[in-house]
Chains A and B, each alone.
Chain A
Amino acid sequence: MPKEAQSLLLPDVPDRAIILERLQRVLDPELDESVLHLGFIESLHVHQGQATVALHLPTSWCAANFVYMMAEDIRQALLAVESIHAVTIRVGEHFAAPTIETGVNAGTPFAEAFAAEGGGNLDTLRETFLRKGFTSRQERLLRSLKDAGLTAADICTLRIGDLAFVGDACLVRCAGRQPVEVGLADTARRYLQRRGELGLDGSPTGPLITDLQDQPLTVERLEEYVTRARTVRLSLEANGVLCRAVLAARQTHAHDLVFLGPIERFQR
């Protein structure tokens, strides 16, 4: 849990740990990273079961559909907490702030809130980015496996049950050999979690590395597959770098900017 996230909440808020845990799971779909880690949540205030969340986005031009998705997800995550019965989201300075806030806070689907703009359904977009995130997470795992000295043949024969987690490390057992450490547990966990979210086989006997159709990769296919996956990972990373840099600049240069949204700044 990043330090900033800890201090978002006043210490006496009920269900504090649960709230942070739920928010931890809300992702910026485009970056495939938690909105908490990204620092997009400026403040969170709970008073008599009424939660108010102020977002702080990197720019006022962040794509409205992604902002809507994040705001919706945060609202749903908080509504699932027992002690919270109402949630208000403020998106701050954003070109579509009024439309997003009115829509999200009333539980209106995006397509309806942005009907005049040809809003469309967000489910396809969400699915697209879940899949990109899968490829990106898998590429990081494949890189760890390769760096640990596993051959293409080793990688293609691994089962999910061949992975073991010891503290922060991930170990892998290849047939007839001692287990080897293959980088951080988090890399493998994120990949396995996304397999679950996409409904791909997660059983211990299932193949570890499959494509999005859940087909195991063959040694012949692996190299080209990795070459493409690498580009997907780089692509997602570009946005992450840009968003963080811009958000940091916006926070530093806040005196130069006018915040139009009705953001109340709570203690961070």
Chain B
Amino acid sequence: MYTHNGQDIFVVDGHMHLWDASPENQIPPHGKNWIDCFYAYHSGLSPADAKWPYEKFCQYGEAALIDDLFVHGYVDVGILNSTYLYEFYKNGFNSHEQNNALKAKYPDRFLLNGSFDPRAEEAGLEEFRHMVEQYPIAGLKLYTAEWRQGSRGWRLNDPWAYKYFELCQELGITNIHVHKGPTVYPLSRDAFDVHDVDYAATDFPTLNFIVEHIGLPRLEDFCWIATQEKNVYAGLAVAMPFIHPRPRYFAEIMANLLFWLGPDKILFGSDYAIWTPKWQIEKLMAFELPDDIRQEYGVDLTLETKQKILGENAARLYGIDPAIHREKLRRDAIGVHLAAATADQAGAEAFPVASVQEHA
């Protein structure tokens, strides 16, 4: 929770991870290359005091996460986006099975997102159904560029993907986050193509498609699609950190999103642990669009809009009432810890993660 002039602002981190990229888990050479690439993003865009040592970045664990998100990072609810990468990491990068351990310990603090891979075809459908029965799956994170047995990716409008979307409708899973950002394959096309979102969003109007990383660097295509399709949303992960090294550029990106999509279709995401949420949220709350940009685009980044972006929009999509949820959070172990720290008038200390039991 972020407090602005005495007013509580509900914060949903729409895109965060608990990954294991430790050397023991890596499959050479790509396991190391992958985390090195992430680390370059981390150190390239983070403020100096928010940079981590490389070793911590590879594996930071539950205690650091709870601290970075909830104790110091203002986040109320984090959406655990599962990323499997079984060809790069022996036990996966962060699977829903692993993420569920966090969800079970702090049920009100996390939403657990699963995934599917349509290349698993018929067998995968059964597995998907099983996952939804077994785990408290709130939504999905799809990673269309994932490697699988020689295939370098798939598209949302592949016939098998449609069968999975049909199953989503049947099982009541409505929020689909899609990674559309810096990727590698497929080779033959423009690697960042977002047009498949257009097809899926048109054909499945009851599903919501949250395009993570706002389709960068295909912003123009993304904006056009999101303007046409009511059910396409912008996920700010990766666009957010530009606020630090390139604030004016960030202002233009935000003005552009507000111009095309409006304030109700933009969702905050830190992409933790690539970047920690604390500085991103502080800087966003303090941010104002420069006058010339405000005039040129005819939009503004008001307090009301910031509240929508930081939490209200995601809460609406996931059926969370911020007022009711805030009360629940006050009573959980982290909430009690934070209240005690506030009462002491001292800075909050690290939360003792070992003291929390998994909920049955």
Q: Which residues of A contact B (CB under 8 A)?
A: 30, 58-66, 93, 95, 114, 117-121, 125, 128, 227-228, 230-232, 234-239, 241-242, 245-250, 252-253, 256-258, 260
Interface positions of B (Cβ within 8 A of A)? 29-30, 32-34, 36-37, 39-45, 54, 152, 182-191, 216-220, 223, 238-239, 242, 245-246, 249, 252-253, 256, 259-260
Instruction: Indicate if the CB atoms of B223 and A231 lie closer than 8 Å.
Output: yes
Decide: A114 and B220 in contact? CB cutoff 8 A.
no
Check A234–B36 contact: CB distance below 8 A: no
**A contact residues around B40 at 8 Å (CB):** 58-59, 246, 249-250, 253
Would A231 and B187 be within 8 Å (CB), given that A117-B152, A245-B245, A250-B40 are in contact? no
Query: Are A63 and B220 closer than 8 Å at their CB atoms?
Result: no
Write the nearest CB–CB distance from B322 to chain A, whole angstroms. Answer: 31
A-B contact count (CB 8 A): 121
In the complex, which residues of chain A have a beta carbon less than 8 angstroms from the beta carbon of B29?
95, 260
Tell me if A239 and B216 are in contact (CB < 8 A): yes
Chain B residues whose C-beta falls within 8 Å of the C-beta of A250 in the assembled complex? 40, 44
Sort A-B residue pairs by CB-CB distance and give the 5 closest, nearest first. Answer: A120-B188, A245-B44, A249-B44, A235-B219, A239-B217
Docked complex Cα distance between A236 and B40 (Å): 20
Contact at A241–B249, with CB atoms within 8 Å? yes
Contact, CB under 8 Å: A60 / B36: yes
5 A-B pairs with C-beta separation under 8 A: A118-B188, A232-B220, A242-B216, A253-B43, A256-B39
**A245 touching B217, Cβ below 8 Å:** no
Assembly CA distance A128 to B238 (angstroms): 24
Given A118-B186, A248-B44, A230 and B256 contact (CB-CB distance below 8 Å): yes
Name the one of B54, B183, B217, B245 contacting A30, with C-beta atoms under 8 angstroms: B217
In the complex, residue of chain B having the shortest beta-carbon distance to the beta carbon of A239: B217
User: Which residues of chain B come closer than 8 Å to A60, judged between CB atoms?
Assistant: 33, 36-37
Q: Report the nearest B residue to A250, measured CB to CB.
A: B40
Give chain A nearest CB distance to B186 CB in angstroms. Answer: 7
In angstroms, Cα B223 to Cα A128, docked, is 18
Residues of B within 8 Å of A246, CB to CB, are 37, 40-41, 44
Contacts of A95 in B (CB 8 A): 29-30, 33, 184
Which residue of B has the minimal Cβ distance to A231? B220
> Which residues from B are CB-within-8-Å of A249?
39-44
Give CA–CA (A60, B30) in the complex, Å. 9
B45, chain A: closest CB distance, angstroms: 5
Chain A residues, CB < 8 A from B246: 241
With A95-B30, A235-B220 given, name 6 new contacts (CB 8 A): A59-B40, A119-B187, A228-B220, A238-B219, A253-B54, A256-B39
Most chain A C-beta atoms within 10 Å of own C-beta, residue among B33, B152, B186, B223: B33
A239 to B256, CA, bound (A): 16
Determine the chain A residues whose CB is within 8 A of the CB of B219 once the complex forms: 231, 234-235, 238
* Cα–Cα, bound, A91→B252 (Å): 34
User: How near does chain A come to B171, taking the closest CB pair, in angstroms?
Assistant: 33
Docked-complex contact A252 and B43, CB < 8 angstroms: yes
Q: Whole-angstrom distance between the alpha carbons of A258 and B34 in the complex?
A: 12
A258 nearest CB neighbor, chain B only: B32
A234 touches B34 (CB 8 A): no
Residues of B within 8 A of A93 (CB): 33
Q: Are A234 and B256 in contact (CB under 8 A)?
A: yes
The answer for the CA separation of A61 and B36 in the assembled complex, in Å, is 10
Tell me, rounded to whole Å, the shortest Cβ–Cβ distance linking A27 to chain B: 15
Q: Which of A63, A231, A237 contacts B249 (CB 8 A)?
A: A237
Q: How far is the CB of B40 from chain A (nearest CB, A)?
A: 4
Question: Quick one: given A60-B33, A231-B220, are A253 and B188 in contact (CB under 8 Å)?
Answer: no
Complex CA gap A251/B44 in Å reads 10
Instruction: Give which listed residue, B33, B54, B187, B218, contacts A117 with CB less than 8 A.
Output: B187
Smallest beta-carbon distance B39→chain A, Å: 7
Looking at B41, B184, B186, B259, the one whose CB has the most chain A CB atoms below 10 A away is B184
Q: Which of A227, A245, A253 has the most chain B CB atoms inside 10 A of its CB? A: A245
**Chain A residue at smallest Cβ distance from B29:** A260
B187 touches A64 (CB 8 A): yes
Determine the distance from Cα of A211 to Cα of B63 in the docked complex, in whole angstroms: 55
Contact across chains for A114 and B187 when beta carbons are under 8 A apart = yes
Complex contacts, B256 vs chain A, CB 8 Å: 230-231, 234
A120 B187 Cβ-Cβ under 8 A: yes
